[in-house]
Amino acid sequence: MNMLPFQPIDAMHLKLASGAVNVTVCRTQFTAYNGRDTTHTFGGKDLLLVDGRPQFAEVAILRLFQAAGWQGRWLETYPYRKHPRLWLEWKPGGCRAQEHVPIQEAWVNEKLQAIAQANGGYFSGCWDVVAWKNDRLVFAESKKRKKDAMRGTQLRWLEAALKCGCSVEDFVVVEWDVSC
C-alpha cells in the first residue's frame, strides 16, 4: 500500500558505488506564481503559487506531505553542509530571513545524524524534503521535469542512508512542472 502523497509512476535507475538501485519517481504539476513580487529567488529558482504566495517546489512538496498527515521539513544544506537549515516555508528576504524550525522527534534527528556520519560527517546531498509519519522516514528530491538531474552528492547521501538501515522505498524523486 502506497503511503506517499504522490502516485508512483516510474522508477529512476541510479548507479551507486555499492550497486544500482531503482528509486520511485512521481510526477506532479504546480501552479506558477505570476505576480509581481520582490521575493529572493535563491539563485533563480522557479516561484510557485503555494499558500497563496510565492514559494519554491520544495515547499509545495512539503505541503503535499503535510496534507496527507505527514510531518516534515525542507532540509537546506547549501551552504550549511554540517548544520543544515530546516524550513517550513520560504520568506521573501533570502536565506537570512528564513526561520530554522528544529525537528522535535529524537528518532528522526538520530537517523539524520547517523546518515550524515556515514556520509563523511556532512549533510551535503541530503534530499530536499524529509518527511515522517508514524515510524516511517521518507526523503523526497525535487527535480523540475526535463531540467534537473541527480547530483553525485545526492547519490552518496542515498548510499549512506541505505548503509544506515533506510530502504530504497524511503526515497522518492518528485518530478514537477508548472501550469499557468
For 43-66, how does the pLDDT look when each residue is reduced to its tens digit (9 = 90+)?
888 999 999 999 999 999 999 999
Residue 80 pLDDT: 67
For residue range 130-157, list pLDDT tens digits in order. Answer: 999 999 999 999 999 999 999 999 999 9
- Evaluate whether 160 touches 119 at the Cβ level (below 8 Å): yes
Residue 60 pLDDT: 97
Radius of gyration of the chain from its Cα atoms, rounded to whole angstroms: 16
Residue 119 pLDDT: 97
% of the chain residues with pLDDT over 70: 97
pLDDT score of 92 more than 90: no
Residue 155 pLDDT: 98
| Pairwise CA distance, residues 9 & 26, whole Å | 5
pLDDT score of 2 more than 80: no
- Evaluate whether 155 touches 16 at the Cβ level (below 8 Å): yes
Q: Is 123 exposed, middle or buried (0-12, 13-18, 19+ CB in 10 A)?
A: buried
Residue 1: inside a domain: no
Q: String of b and e for 30-48 (b: at least 16 CB within 10 Å)?
A: beebeeeeebbeeeebbbb
Residue 102: inside a domain: yes
Residue 3: inside a domain: no
Residue 2: inside a domain: no
Full residue range of the structural domain in which residue 57 is found: 8-179
Domain count across the chain: 1
